[in-house]
């Protein structure tokens, strides 16, 4: 490792690969391209764009991201098999800076899966890393479940990978098993023990099963790792991955004790956090570090008094450092289109003329119904507008519901199905149940409701509700979102948006659903 990179920590974002593996977080082709562009714009060094051999959809997304990339390294994942590596190379070779990331599980539990002896696995590692290096000069190798791999064997296989040409060695804590002191010591000992370790970059990939992913990643950096694998919002399987925003802001805020730099433009963190939450259908918890709704909110009288006198009393970061607007209540029913465009620009949102027109119409409607319109309201409108733009097969024309203590709820729904307008009235156990039954009556389907979540965008009885609906049908998963001051209307639109996505995926060959089973480098 050169002196130039000694104090530089590279950010390896795997939101589009490991993050998307989180059940229900499958993204569309266009959403993947959009997130990749946002990651590159914010300065992410390496973008792991997907697992090309998993499906035609994954291959197409990785390939298009590679073609569109400018500065970021574009990485594809491949198992320790020549066919995987070749397919990965086909997907990423158009990138100005491609990387092949190949892996195999090295712990006793993972060695038992392919039923390989230690020697057989060592030989496969040598062959596959060599194969990858022969076609790409930037190769990353990972011993999956490294933190539960025998020390002597871990040293052995890391040395083999380095000699075979790997330029980055990633040490994954696949099941979130390690702790900070152990994480730092493992990296430190590998660098000191393995021949050639000083010539490569060591990387850390931590999971949050015990709530220590961020701490473990930063400890690994202290031990000598100079690459952190992470995801936006900590998205990922089970309890998730190391959160990009947490490690980046920790290094920025505590440079006195974590003296490392990244190339991340932190002012873009909030924008991409919100977008990833929207496309994945995974809301950010209110008390989530850095990007949670309450991260910069103060209710306690003592805290508010201190904030008014000196913001640093209770804030170790400035909201604007992560792209959060300092004020939120500035828009109302008398605001014009130019003001809305300017506000959206302040919030980091750029819309085309047609999108702005549709959003402005919704903004005016909301302003007439809602006394105060906040930044969060406007962002929710943008999300709802973009979601509804994807709707083409199903579209809600009108919805009326009747409910109360006197009997079952009743929903009268008028909906366009493939261009034909249809109407029905259905009863149910509450207004949402009745509405969903009405949708299924007009558009029969076997989609199973996996998730139904309602979140208030702001405070007050007139607050917009953001509804997320996740559906599963024949192994395909789709998420729909919408927002409205009427929770039932938002629910209906979110449900229809998810059904539209399923319809599109059924209509395409080799869509976004993975076609093979694999274990991740987690």
Could you tell me the two tokens for 446?
């076997």
The full DSSP string for 200-233 is SEEEEEEB-TTS-HHHHHHHHHHHT--EEEEBGG
Q: How far is CA 183 from CA 154, 207, 235, 512, in A?
A: 14, 12, 21, 35
Q: How far is CA 186 from CA 106, 155, 193, in A?
A: 15, 10, 10
The overall pTM is greater than 0.75: yes
Both ends of the chain: CA-CA distance in Å? 25
The full DSSP string for 330-399 is -B-TT--HHHHHHHHHHTT----HHHHHHHHHHHHHHHHH-S-B-HHHHHHHHHHHHHHHT--SEEEEEE
Q: Specify which residues 101 forms β-bridges with.
A: 77, 140
> Per DSSP, which regions of 4-156 are E strands?
10-13, 46-50, 73-79, 98-105, 139-144
pLDDT tens for each residue of the chain, 522 residues long: 334 444 899 999 999 999 988 877 778 899 999 999 999 999 999 999 999 999 999 999 999 999 999 999 999 999 999 999 999 999 999 999 999 999 999 999 999 999 999 999 999 999 999 999 999 999 999 999 999 999 999 999 999 999 999 999 999 999 999 999 999 999 999 999 999 999 999 999 999 999 999 999 999 999 999 999 999 999 999 999 999 999 999 999 999 999 999 999 999 999 999 899 988 888 888 899 999 878 876 444 444 444 445 555 657 888 889 987 654 445 777 778 888 888 887 777 888 888 888 888 888 888 887 767 777 788 778 877 776 666 578 999 999 999 988 789 999 999 999 889 999 999 999 999 999 999 999 999 999 999 898 988 877 777 888 898 989 888 888 888 888 889 999 999 999 989 998 887 776 644 444 444 444 444
**205 is annotated as contributing to ligand binding:** yes
The CATH fold of domain 8-280: TIM Barrel (3.20.20)
CA distance 389 to 22: 25
**7 is annotated as contributing to ligand binding:** no
**207 is annotated as contributing to ligand binding:** yes
**334 is annotated as contributing to ligand binding:** no
- Name the burial class of residue 416, with classes exposed (0-12), middle (13-18) and buried (19+) by CB atoms within 10 angstroms of its CB: middle
Residues of the chain within CATH 3.20.20.70 domain(s) are: 8-280
Residues of the chain within CATH 3.30.160.270 domain(s) are: 392-507
Could you tell me the two tokens for 447?
């989609």
Characterise 426 by phi-psi region: left (phi > 0), alpha (psi -120 to 50), beta (else): beta
The 3-state DSSP class for residue 508 equals: coil
CB atoms within 10 A of CB 509: 6
Cα-trace Rg, the chain: 25
Options 3.40.50.2000, 3.40.50.300, 3.30.160.270, 3.30.1360.30; CATH for 392-507 is 3.30.160.270
């Amino acid at each position: 490792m050169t002196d130039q990179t000694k104090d530089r920590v590279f950010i390896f974002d795997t939101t589009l690969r490991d993050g998307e593996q989180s059940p229900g977080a499958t993204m569309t082709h266009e959403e993947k391209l959009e997130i990749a562009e946002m990651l590159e714009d914010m300065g992410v060094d390496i973008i792991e764009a997907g697992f090309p051999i998993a499906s035609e959809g994954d291959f197409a997304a990785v390939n298009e991201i590679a073609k569109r990339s400018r500065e970021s390294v574009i990485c594809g994942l491949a198992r320790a098999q020549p066919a995987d590596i070749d397919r990965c190379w086909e997907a990423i070779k158009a990138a100005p800076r491609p990387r092949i990331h190949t892996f195999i599980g090295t712990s006793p539990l993972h060695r038992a899966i392919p039923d390989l002896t230690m020697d057989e696995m060592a030989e496969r590692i040598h062959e596959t890393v060599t194969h990858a290096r022969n076609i790409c000069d930037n190769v990353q190798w990972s011993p999956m479940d490294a933190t539960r791999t025998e020390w002597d064997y871990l040293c052995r296989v890391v040395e083999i990978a380095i000699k075979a040409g790997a330029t980055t060695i990633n040490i994954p804590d696949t099941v979130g098993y390690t702790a900070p002191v152990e994480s730092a010591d493992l990296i430190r000992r590998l660098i000191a023990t393995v021949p050639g370790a000083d010539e490569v970059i060591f990387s850390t990939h931590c999971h949050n099963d015990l709530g220590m992913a961020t701490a473990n990643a930063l400890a690994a950096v202290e031990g000598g790792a100079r690459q952190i694998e992470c995801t936006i919002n900590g998205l990922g399987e089970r309890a998730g991955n190391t959160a990009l925003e947490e490690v980046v802001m920790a290094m920025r805020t505590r440079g006195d004790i974590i003296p490392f730099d990244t190339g991340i433009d932190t002012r873009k963190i909030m924008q991409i956090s919100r977008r990833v939450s929207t496309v994945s259908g995974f809301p950010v918890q209110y008390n989530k570090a850095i990007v949670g709704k309450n991260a910069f909110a103060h209710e306690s009288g003592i805290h508010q008094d201190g904030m008014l006198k000196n913001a640093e009393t209770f804030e170790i970061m400035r909201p604007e450092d992560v792209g959060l607007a300092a004020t939120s209540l500035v828009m109302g029913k008398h605001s014009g289109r130019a003001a809305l465009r300017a506000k959206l620009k302040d919030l980091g949102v750029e819309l085309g003329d047609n999108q702005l027109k549709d959003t402005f119409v919704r903004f005016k409607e909301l302003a007439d119904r809602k006394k105060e319109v906040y930044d969060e309201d406007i962002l929710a409108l943008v999300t709802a507008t973009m979601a509804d733009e994807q709707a083409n097969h199903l579209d809600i024309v009108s919805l009326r519901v009747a409910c109360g203590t006197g009997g079952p709820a009743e929903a009268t729904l008028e909906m366009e199905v493939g261009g034909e307008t249809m109407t029905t009235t259905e009863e149910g156990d509450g207004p949402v149940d009745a509405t969903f039954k009405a949708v299924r009556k007009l558009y029969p389907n076997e989609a199973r409701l996996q998730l139904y979540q309602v979140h208030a965008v702001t405070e007050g009885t007139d607050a917009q509700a953001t509804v997320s609906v996740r559906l599963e049908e024949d192994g395909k998963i789709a998420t729909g979102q919408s927002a409205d001051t009427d929770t039932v209307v938002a629910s209906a639109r979110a449900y229809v948006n998810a059904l539209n996505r399923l319809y599109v995926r059924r209509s395409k060959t080799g869509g976004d659903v993975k076609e093979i089973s694999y274990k991740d480098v987690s």
